[in-house]
Structure 1
């Protein structure tokens, strides 16, 4: 009887231990933390030129429901260093300010699991810029002309469709500025200073061409289109009063610059 009792105790003990073991295994499986989704950004690091488009792509698990991009710590559309457009797993940015910035993507699943990955971009100045040069011996006239050009053309939209960066002189700031940072003001006054001028522009693609030509013609400017390489020669010969030329050094003061500071393509 003792042995049977002992056997029963042993049997019960083994059975209870087995049940507890199985329960613990099931409980462990049920409470194990779910893993976040996988996510990669390419390129992991890249060097980009100011004014040129740079593309980033994200690769994530199929169960990811949302993908959010940030540029230099800011949501897409709010960054002051770049103009970006995010479409699903692709981010396209045109950087406006040199420096080193972080590009991040955050992937989130339906059950709110998320992961963030980062990429680094070093933005440098290009080796050339576009600018508008006005040939006039009167410094005040040139200053007034640059002021009108700065306000009456929608340079932000023009820059979005032109690869090289556009620099313009801002008389109110006393320095060169990026065209993409200007504020378009179609009601800006003092436009008579451009009346009767002859300016030559390159053969821009649309919509840049239409934006520039329509604005200049509305200001009384006669516009002709020629290649960049011929613009400087035309100004030197006095055939036109100015136009778009290329500039190698962004630190040159455009108000006091002469044709010797410009260059042909």
Structure 2
């Protein structure tokens, strides 16, 4: 065999090997399995208090096309354990029922592959709540007073400006409600029931103080500012008709409660 033909065979062999190698690389690239998108959820675990907002965030890669949140296995807005709002990669939840739940985020990529991450949430009651307690022998008067106090004070804004969780009695619902969930009705009528009422409230900082003291005084209420613990003593002695007190059990019916159900701080 001539060196020329041998050289040709070597060249052909090298060329074929190169083509096969490139083809295998291309085929390998073409058949490589697609991967789901990357996703993290923070916090991975958290202890939340009933009635207070808890924030969750999802951190996904650039290949994430859609993001879906679920709370206790249910889509946002359908869970009975929390009120939640989802805005893109952020979820804000206010849990209503104590217990341990899962908050999950599911990311879908452009290739339709999905990945889900979970956060474990332990929901507990706070040690105490703050509430307005009215003492009057007439049950209807107490009910009317609670109704006006609930609507003529902007409690949602008050709650935004202080840390302690506030519960208020709603006579129309027959139960306590969170201050953050109340609706301010500045034109609500029936305010005469508060004329001459004496209430003692804690020494709040601004803007909470202005949101409470000014409107109460405008409704004919005499307001005295004292520490929480002294409010119960003042009510017991008959010096005032009511005021801010601490409440250990959020299920207590304030309409029929007495001072023994309240806590001194």
User: Please, what TM-score do these two structures have when normalized by structure 1?
Assistant: 0.77
- CA positional deviation for 1:19: 0.6
- Evaluate the alpha carbon distance shift between residue 79 and residue 158 of structure 1 in structure 2; reply closer, same or farther with a 3 A threshold: farther
- Evaluate the alpha carbon distance shift between residue 29 and residue 182 of structure 1 in structure 2; reply closer, same or farther with a 3 A threshold: same
State how far apart, in whole Å, the 1-side matches of 2:82 and 2:152 are: 23
State how far apart, in whole Å, the 1-side matches of 2:76 and 2:227 are: 36
- Evaluate the alpha carbon distance shift between residue 74 and residue 199 of structure 1 in structure 2; reply closer, same or farther with a 3 A threshold: farther
Deviation string 1:88-139 (CA, Å, 9 cap, x unpaired) is 9776655344344433346688999875422121212122111111111111
Contact 1:52/1:163, CA 8 A, preserved across alignment: no
Deviation string 1:147-189 (CA, Å, 9 cap, x unpaired) is 1112222222222333333222222222233333333222221
- Evaluate the alpha carbon distance shift between residue 154 and residue 95 of structure 1 in structure 2; reply closer, same or farther with a 3 A threshold: farther
- CA positional deviation for 1:231: 0.7
State how far apart, in whole Å, the 1-side matches of 2:70 and 2:208 are: 28
Aligned pairs, how many? 265
Point out the more displaced range, 119-128 or 177-186: 177-186
- CA positional deviation for 1:207: 3.1
- CA positional deviation for 1:25: 0.6
- CA positional deviation for 1:203: 2.2
Check if 1:260 corresponds to 2:257. Answer: no
Point out the more displaced range, 11-20 or 236-245: 11-20
Query: What SS is found at the alignment partner of 2:167?
Result: strand
Contact 2:51/2:178, CA 8 A, preserved across alignment: no
Deviation string 1:23-45 (CA, Å, 9 cap, x unpaired) is 23124325645644533334322
Measured on the aligned residues, the alpha-carbon RMSD in Å equals 4.1
Unpaired runs of 5+ residues, structure 2, are none
User: Please, what TM-score do these two structures have when normalized by structure 2?
Assistant: 0.77
